[in-house]
Structure 1
Amino acid sequence: MYQYQGSPMAHPASASRDLRSEDLFAGIAKFYPLRTHFFFATYLGLLSLFCVYIYANPFGLDTKPGHQGSGLGFKSKIDASVHTFFVVLSLALSKIMRRGHKVQKRQGYIRLHSRLKSFVWAPPLVVILGECTLLALGVWIESPKFSLNDAIKCILGLEEVLLLVIFVDYCRILVRHNKRKPPPDALTVLQEMGGEDTPLLYAIDHGMGLDSVTDEQAELIRFLQLRTTQLSKQVLKLQHRLDQGGARGEGSAGEGAGGAGRSPGGGGAASSASAAGDLDHILAARDREIRSLNGERDTLQREVREGKRRLMDLGAENQQLLGTNQQHVAENARLRAIIHEWSVRHAKLEAKLQEGG
């Protein structure tokens, strides 16, 4: 099954198994917990401190309007400026959250990314709406009875409550995900598709929270492409290490041949040869995994094309059915008109017969 840390050397027999078995991604993935809720908590804590400052007014600043009852108070101007700064912080928080969610999506947690998509713009949306309301109240309402400081208190209180509710839900999802450490959704789906006892039902919805099966297949293809790129980089690194190990082995063998009387065993050459053999094994396993990933990607692309063709065929059949339905509706309307006409004629004939009788 899925392993978070491991080495292909721990499973030497897996190389002889089917390339589409459940060990396809074993030993190459690592679970990285999502910590963006800490940034959200920091932002919420700063906003709470600002709310305490607004309500307590520890410095005793004047909250009354300017001279002759017009304009804004000095404290209200400062509070509005600080609130604008929190708008900028909310945009930065949204960017951090979106970046963390993309990392989870690249790891294959597509369902988690779909669930957290709506939380990205929630903090800036709430704070920007509060800022717009604050600007509208400060610009358009000019009354000596109106206090902008009271409006700021009300707006910040509502923002704090809304963001707290959003944070609790967001933190609940992340804490549960980090505690369970589930395997990636894309990995689970690909293992189900590659199982021997499971038919290749690529055209079904696996409940990843996407809009359509085509989007789901596209995400799986992107996941396979990313894993292929990562494996290619690992192959290049291992090949470089193999070349370096071979060069060191040749140098050690030369030194052993020059000083045969002192080191007849050639231990350095033997150890480097063993390391080279291990690297060859790892390199061969990575090559097999890359080939299997390419095969899975090609199969998924082919299934996506077939699914699109099926959708087009179904759309054409639907259009034909709609056209036939329209024809039936028109024919039904024509028959109803004929029946109505004959009913009118029948009524007229009955009236004439009654008059003649």
Structure 2
Amino acid sequence: MPSRVQQQSHRDTQGRGLQNELTDYDESLLLDRAFVQTPAHGFGFGGDEEAGTGHVEEPGPILSTALAVFCYWACACAYTVFLFIPIYDTTLDDFHIKASAHILLLFLALLLESYLRVQHRKRQQAGFLAFYWSTRGLLSIPSRVTAVGQGVVTMVAFWPDVPAQLNQLRKLQLITCIELAAITAFAVAYAYQVWRHNHEAQPDAQLYLRTPLYPTPTPSHRGTGAVVEHQAEAMRWLSKRCQNLQREVLRLSIARDREEEGVSAGVDVCRTDLEHRLAARERELRALAAEKDVLSQQARAAWSLLDERTAAAHELEVVKQQQMDENARLRATLEEWSHRNARLEARLNRTQGRLGDALTQAAELRRSSDTSPSGNSSQS
């Protein structure tokens, strides 16, 4: 077993190796891609932590992991409540059904751990090293607690007489209550870490871009030049950042060289292409000018035809108005003659009535005159 002095020397060797690895990179990369200060957004990184990508903005508050932990805690509470609900079907085994459902809780715990590790790895790459250090030990607690509980449940299923004063279902309820208490403590601790992380102004790794990574050496049991754990993690983060920046600078330089070579080699070709394009454009302009003249002539002819049609329409309107006036005059004359005809018919009717009366009187007089001579002759 190595002694404490050997372990200390091994840590010092690792720290010096990381320091040498970090100093091998060009410091101008950090100065070139230093974080930019803007009045609206504060400080933000100029580069990305993933190789081959461009600018990335500072990540916002983390809420998805806290929501996932809350969902897992709610599932654990629901399972605990399910254990205390009796199954009235006598054909089913109450203990085996509820113990089998515990496997689903273990599966959810494993999914939760994998999701939390992925999200925390992203926060570490974004520069939130303190949050990553404070929570990396909490990520495996749900899966470990659930796995231990599953093992105890399996043992209770195979050895049901230990302890003898409790039945299998009571043992399962007791184990699950202990698990729920541990998961509740984990959820509270994790929620506190997330709350503190969301209230941080900026990633703590940005401080290493402005402050010296190695402060003034002070007497310590680790010795002069010793590297603590968070300094080593910060050095790894800065080393990876420098590697990504070097890759990006190399890619941009290669692209610039290719563009310069393409411009120098294709100047003549571009000039010839430009001349051909200019000649083609001139021909197109001449064709367009001729077409414009033709269209102008057609437009003038159309305007003249439109004027003629407008004059003819105006003449038709005048003739129409005259005919309407003549029709109105004839209609008035017709009405006047209709009234005269009605008056003449009335006068004719009156005249005919008088003439009939006169003829009747004349006939009576003739009849009376005829009767009077015959009477006189008879008397004589």
**Normalised by the size of structure 1, how large is the TM-score?**
0.52
Q: Distance in 1 between matches of 2:101 and 2:151?
A: 14
Q: Which one of 24, 28, 44 corresponds to residue 34 of structure 2? A: 24
Q: Which one of 208, 215, 229 corresponds to residue 201 of structure 1? A: 215
Q: Deviations over 1:75-110 (max 9, x none)?
A: 211211221232233233222222322222233222
**Partner in structure 2 of residue 304 of structure 1:** none
**Cα distance, 1:21–1:245 mapped onto 2, change above 3 Å:** closer
Q: Which one of 177, 192, 198 corresponds to residue 197 of structure 2? A: 177
Bigger CA radius of gyration: 2
**Partner in structure 1 of residue 109 of structure 2:** 90
- Moved beyond 4 Å, runs of 4+: 17-23, 202-205, 239-255, 261-264
Does the 8 Å contact 1:48/1:160 carry over to 2? Answer: yes
**Partner in structure 1 of residue 88 of structure 2:** 60
**Partner in structure 2 of residue 217 of structure 1:** 231
Q: Distance in 2 between matches of 1:136 and 1:105?
A: 39
Q: Deviations over 1:17-37 (max 9, x none)?
A: 987769724422533344322
| One-letter code aligned to 1:177 | H
Q: Distance in 2 between matches of 1:31 and 1:61?
A: 57
Whose RCO is larger (CA < 8 A, sep 6+)? 2
**Cα distance, 1:136–1:238 mapped onto 2, change above 3 Å:** same
**Cα distance, 1:42–1:263 mapped onto 2, change above 3 Å:** farther
Does the 8 Å contact 1:47/1:160 carry over to 2? Answer: yes
Q: Deviations over 1:154-212 (max 9, x none)?
A: 222222232122112212221332343x3332320331118xxxxx626579xxxxxx7
**Cα distance, 1:77–1:186 mapped onto 2, change above 3 Å:** same
Q: Which one of 74, 80, 93 corresponds to residue 51 of structure 1? A: 80
What's the Cα RMSD here? Answer: 3.8
**Normalised by the size of structure 2, how large is the TM-score?**
0.49
Q: Distance in 1 between matches of 2:122 and 2:244?
A: 14
Does the 8 Å contact 2:160/2:168 carry over to 1? Answer: no
Q: Which one of 130, 133, 150 corresponds to residue 114 of structure 1? A: 133
Q: Distance in 1 between matches of 2:115 and 2:68?
A: 8
5+ residue gaps, structure 2, are 1-26, 37-45, 49-56, 220-225, 283-380
Q: Distance in 1 between matches of 2:165 and 2:138?
A: 38
Does the 8 Å contact 1:256/1:263 carry over to 2? Answer: no
Q: Distance in 1 between matches of 2:165 and 2:113?
A: 37
**Cα distance, 1:248–1:172 mapped onto 2, change above 3 Å:** farther
**Partner in structure 1 of residue 374 of structure 2:** none
Q: Distance in 2 between matches of 1:258 and 1:203?
A: 72
Q: Deviations over 1:307-329 (max 9, x none)?
A: xxxxxxxxxxxxxxxxxxxxxxx
* Percent identity (aligned): 20
Q: Distance in 2 between matches of 1:231 and 1:204?
A: 33
Does the 8 Å contact 1:84/1:131 carry over to 2? Answer: yes
Q: Deviations over 1:335-357 (max 9, x none)?
A: xxxxxxxxxxxxxxxxxxxxxxx
**Partner in structure 1 of residue 95 of structure 2:** 76
Tell whether 2:188 aligns with 1:159: no
| One-letter code aligned to 1:56 | I
Q: Distance in 2 between matches of 1:227 and 1:20?
A: 9
**Cα distance, 1:187–1:22 mapped onto 2, change above 3 Å:** farther
Equivalent residue runs for 1:1-357 within 5 Å? 24-26=34-36, 27-28=46-47, 30-32=57-59, 33-34=61-62, 35-57=64-86, 60-62=88-90, 74-142=93-161, 146-180=166-200, 182-193=201-212, 201=215, 203=217, 213-239=227-253, 242=256, 253-254=270-271, 255-260=273-278
Q: Distance in 1 between matches of 2:229 and 2:102?
A: 39
Does the 8 Å contact 1:21/1:191 carry over to 2? Answer: no
5+ residue gaps, structure 1, are 1-16, 64-72, 195-199, 206-211, 265-357
User: Which secondary structure state, in structure 1, belongs to the residue aligned with residue 184 of structure 2?
Assistant: helix
Does the 8 Å contact 1:22/1:191 carry over to 2? Answer: no
Q: Distance in 2 between matches of 1:202 and 1:20?
A: 22
Q: Distance in 2 between matches of 1:204 and 1:62?
A: 74
